[in-house]
Amino acid sequence: MNRSEELQAYVAGLFAAEDAVLAEIRREHRSLGLPDIAISAEEGRVLQVLLRAAGARRVLEVGTLGGYSGIWIARALGEGGRLTTIEIDREFAAVARQSFERAGLSDRVEVLEGQALDILPLLEPGFDAIFLDADKEPLVEYYHCSLALLKLGGLLLCDNAFFNGRVVDLADRRPDIEGVRAFNRMAATDPRLLATVLPVRDGLLIGVKLAE
Ligand code: DHB
Ligand code: MG
């Protein structure tokens, strides 16, 4: 380990240890062969601090996968809080429901199955926070839907702002990478949003909605 990795491990050890439930769920998702793209515990803790600071009670996630990130999020919600999470893959959604059950969070999490772009326009606006962590090509469309669904002062959070470093490899113009770039540009330049990227894991974009 170099010094920077050592410091990262130091912080993770102090602040972002998984409990037994999260560790077991991560192991189980690996053994089920789910894609190894869930957030890290460090990122989970960052989400929790932000959600608590915002007093978030009503949160939306796009891209449930097996529910690992959803557990971090749902645990950070205030009294009476509710997480709505959208997953396109039927089997991932089933795994996620089991994960929420196992974590004792079923009563505060709703998994909606289907295409995010079909579901988002049907949701009631006024979310305290939205976490985008799904497919990358439609990210600008997710951006517009999210701004419409967030309350003033709400948090926009988006995973994979670095997309494995590929965002700065300008020769690479694949549509998913272009989706991440376009999203980051929107978030950086839209006067309705105050945003930045935290260099946590694969880059976590965080923003506050300032205006309608
Ligand atoms: C990809 C998507 C993710 O949400 C992630 O965390 C890592 C990779 C992907 O589409 O490759
Ligand atoms: Mg991701």
Check if 99 has its Cβ closer than 6 Å to any atom of ligand 1.
Answer: no
For residue 96, give both structure tokens: 């996620």
Give me ligand 1 centre to Cα 201, in Å.
12
Q: Examine the pLDDT at 108 and tell me if it is beyond 90.
A: yes
Cβ pair 54, 129 in contact under 8 A:
yes
Check if 146 has its Cβ closer than 6 Å to any atom of ligand 1.
Answer: no
Q: Candidates 160, 176, 180: which one to mutate for ligand 1, based on the most atoms within 8 Å of Cβ?
A: 160
Give me ligand 1 centre to Cα 79, in Å.
31
Check if 75 has its Cβ closer than 6 Å to any atom of ligand 1.
Answer: no
pLDDT given at position 191: 98
Residue-wise pLDDT for 4-57, tens only, equals: 999 989 999 999 889 999 999 999 999 999 999 999 999 999 999 999 999 999
Q: Determine the average pLDDT of the residues in 65-87.
A: 97
The beta strand positions in 109-172, using DSSP E, are 109-113, 127-132, 150-159
Residue-wise pLDDT for 117-144, tens only, equals: 999 999 999 999 999 999 999 999 999 9
Q: Examine the pLDDT at 79 and tell me if it is beyond 90.
A: no
The answer, as to whether pTM is greater than 0.85, is yes
Average pLDDT over the chain reads: 97
Q: Determine the average pLDDT of the residues in 147-151.
A: 98
- Count of C-beta atoms within a 10 Å radius of residue 147: 21
Give me ligand 1 centre to Cα 80, in Å.
31
Residues within 5 Å of ion ligand 2 by Cβ?
Answer: 133, 159-160
The secondary element (H helix, E strand) that includes residue 194 is strand 193-198
DSSP, collapsed to helix, strand or coil, labels residue 85 as strand
pLDDT given at position 16: 86
Check if 37 has its Cβ closer than 6 Å to any atom of ligand 1.
Answer: yes
Check if 64 has its Cβ closer than 6 Å to any atom of ligand 1.
Answer: no
Query: For residue 38, which atom of ligand 1 is closest to its CA?
Result: 6
pLDDT given at position 156: 99
| C-alpha span between 106 and 54 (Å, rounded) | 23
Helix axes 139-149, 175-189, angle to 10 degrees: 40
Pairing status of strand 58-62 against strand 127-132: parallel
Task: Give the phi and the psi of residue 135 in degrees, each rounded to 5.
Answer: -70, 150
| C-alpha span between 75 and 68 (Å, rounded) | 11
Q: Examine the pLDDT at 78 and tell me if it is beyond 90.
A: no
Give me ligand 1 centre to Cα 98, in Å.
22
The residue with tokens 């893959």 is: 89
Nearest to 149 by CA among 112, 117, 194: 117
| C-alpha span between 194 and 212 (Å, rounded) | 13
